[in-house]
A and B are shown apart, each in its own frame.
Chain A
Amino acid sequence: MSTTHQLVGAGQPFRISPPVVVTEELLARCGGLPPVWSDPVALADETEADRVRERRLYVGLAAAIAVVVALYVVRSLLLG
């Protein structure tokens, strides 16, 4: 964004939500294990895993380039 297009909310503190209280009943419904959303660290880990997963796009790029190069080589060989 350019300086002439300042985003609304820029410079404001991040939004936060109050901590979630996990009741006994809720815990039982979740099979005894605390759900991911009840733990901010687990949520952060989940986001980090998704961020790292995006690196797979490099593999896709490499594969796409490889296929195009292979096609070009085959075409060149066949066309002499």
Chain B
Amino acid sequence: MTDLFPSDASTGTTVLTVFLLLLVVVGAIPVLAGLAQFLVIPLHAVRNHYRETGPYLPNVAVLVPAWNEAAVLTTSVERLMGLDYPPERLRVYVVDDASTDDTPEVLARCAERFPGRVVHLRREKGGEGKAHTLNHGLRHILAEDWMEALLIMDADVIYEPASLRKMTRHLADPTVGAVTAYIREGSGDPQGITRFIGFDYLAAQAASRRAQNVAGAMACLAGGAQLHSRENLEAIGGQIDTSSLAEDTVTTFRTQLAGRRVVFEPHARVLAEEPAGVDALWKQRLRWARGNVQITSMYRHLWFRRSVHPGLGGFFFGIFWFAILLLPVAMLLTSIGLIGLYLLDSRLASDIFGAAVFVPIATFVFMITLTISVDPRTGFKVWREALLFPGAISFVVLVTAAFPGLVPMSGTTETVWTLFVYSWLVLCIPLAYGVRKLEGTRWGRPLTPLALYLVGFGPLMCAITVDAYLKEFRGAAMTWDKTEKTGRVTV
């Protein structure tokens, strides 16, 4: 083992070594935050909201924003009408955001088939974004006394029959303001990117939101499945925020800051259609990532201040939030730290890397195993994408780091390989951007899936986060790029 601070080292070298080591340690915070979050998940077996539920079946108004959703609306409405819920207590309000396709005709047919239970609300001026569309419907619904709970969903999502009543049972507790469900990627035959999204949702929803239930602070109600009590909607102003791209997160924060709980119900399952191409996914996730950057600034008085809110202002939630938001920065710091240490003292860098590398590897393995176990049916379908989530190249890097000496190297080859390993954490981000660009080229169709598996879905998400930083910094226009829906979700 190399002496960390040899006696003959100058003060400058020692200070630089400490600084570079500090970069590596700071860069490792997201890994430790992820591990902490996943260690909390099993506590959901005892620390959950089930004992405080009741057989509560309120009048539910389902609010569906729709812009050119003719392809999916009939199936969605039929599924809603077929929900295992008292029929006279369920009404569907579809807000047609000045659609230019057959949406009005499709809705007219639905209203005819289910008289009094499907309501068509038309906006003549559309294209202002989802929040404006929702607010149009909210004004109409809140003007009547009938609604006791409001379910906000997307036109393309499909609820499993028992899902709604599994959500309403939590509203029996008057301290609960809103409930969200487990959204799953719903393609019947997921391929390539949709398989990655399948695993992503498994980790980010089924697993992570259980941890947030335990911690008592929810980051975001899923846009396609959020059930609010009438009292909660009125308490937060009866309107959805229109000032940011993350209106779901703002609603979630407002609910909790107004003193009500937000609960995740993992057994209420909802299937959603997700983008099948990198560019479409990029636009969707960029909107989410920019929204998160905006929220971070909007609620800057909240972070790490338990006096403002014990859950959202808590240390656990703050670390969890910033670990995701600043992941690309952490990767950059780790890379700079390791390369700097290598240039300063290659042996020292190698020793530190060798000693510490098992932590992220063990965390990665722990996280994917636990994630797959929370929903084995979905998990076993996408286990390859779980392993290749950081990309095939990263996977090889991790294997060689876990088992040094597996491929004997020396001299220049070893130097080049080591520098590649240390810099890959950053290199993968521009390469992920390249994957998006590749999709638009002549060879994009056959090569993009291969490139995505090589570079990885995780780096793609980091690249999108970097794009979000840049767009927010430049003050780029907030455009609402709607994800094209084809109706391929199957139960």
Contact = CB atoms under 8 A, between A and B. Distances in A.
A11 to B, nearest CB: 9
B365 A43 contact: no
B267 A8 contact: no
A35 B86 CA distance: 9
A57 B45 contact: yes
B41 A57 contact: yes
Contact of A12 (B56, B174, B366, B404): B174
Contacts of B231: 9
Contacts of B210: 57
Given A47-B53, A60-B369, A78-B403, A7 B358 contact: no
Interface in B84-117: 84-87, 89
Most chain-A Cβ atoms within 10 A of its Cβ — which of B44, B45, B176, B210?
B45
Contact of B175 (A8, A43, A68, A72): A8
Q: How large is the interface on A (under 10, 10 to 19, 20 to 34, 35 or more residues)?
A: 35 or more
A7 B259 contact: yes
Most chain-A Cβ atoms within 10 A of its Cβ — which of B86, B309, B372?
B86
Contact of B405 (A4, A61, A79): A79
Interface stretch (B163-171, B337-345, B443-451): B163-171
A63 interface: yes
Interface in B208-233: 210, 216, 229, 231
A25 B162 CA distance: 21
Nearest to B362: A68
Given A6-B259, A8-B175, A36-B162, A54 B44 contact: yes
A8 B404 CA distance: 56
Nearest to A61: B42
A32 interface: no
A8 B232 CA distance: 10
A65 B38 CA distance: 12
Interface string B386-415: 000000000000000011111000000000
Most chain-B Cβ atoms within 10 A of its Cβ — which of A12, A14, A36?
A14
B260 A75 contact: no
A61 to B, nearest CB: 4
A60 B42 contact: yes
A56 B53 CA distance: 20
Contacts of A64: 38, 365-367, 369-370, 373
Interface string B27-62: 000000000001001101100101101111110000
B307 interface: yes
A40 B139 CA distance: 33
Given A46-B162, A57-B44, A60-B42, A5 B309 contact: yes
Contact of A79 (B172, B372, B404): B404
A15 B50 contact: no
B366 A58 contact: no
Given A7-B175, A9-B175, A14-B174, A59 B85 contact: no
B173 interface: yes
B84 A35 contact: yes
B57 A68 contact: no
Contacts of A9: 173-176, 231, 260
B216 A37 contact: no
A67 B53 CA distance: 36
Interface in B318-377: 358, 361-362, 365-367, 369-370, 372-374
10 contacts: A8-B235, A12-B174, A36-B165, A40-B55, A43-B169, A60-B372, A63-B370, A64-B366, A71-B365, A79-B405
Closest 10 CB pairs of A and B: A60-B373, A9-B174, A51-B50, A8-B259, A43-B55, A64-B369, A40-B55, A61-B42, A7-B175, A64-B370
Interface of B: 38, 41-42, 44-45, 48, 50-51, 53-58, 84-87, 89, 148, 162, 165-166, 169, 171-177, 210, 216, 229, 231, 235, 258-261, 266-267, 306-307, 309-311, 358, 361-362, 365-367, 369-370, 372-374, 402-406
Given A6-B259, A60-B369, 19 more contacts: A1-B216, A13-B174, A14-B172, A14-B174, A16-B172, A37-B57, A43-B165, A43-B169, A44-B55, A47-B50, A50-B166, A57-B42, A57-B45, A60-B42, A60-B370, A60-B372, A64-B38, A64-B373, A67-B365
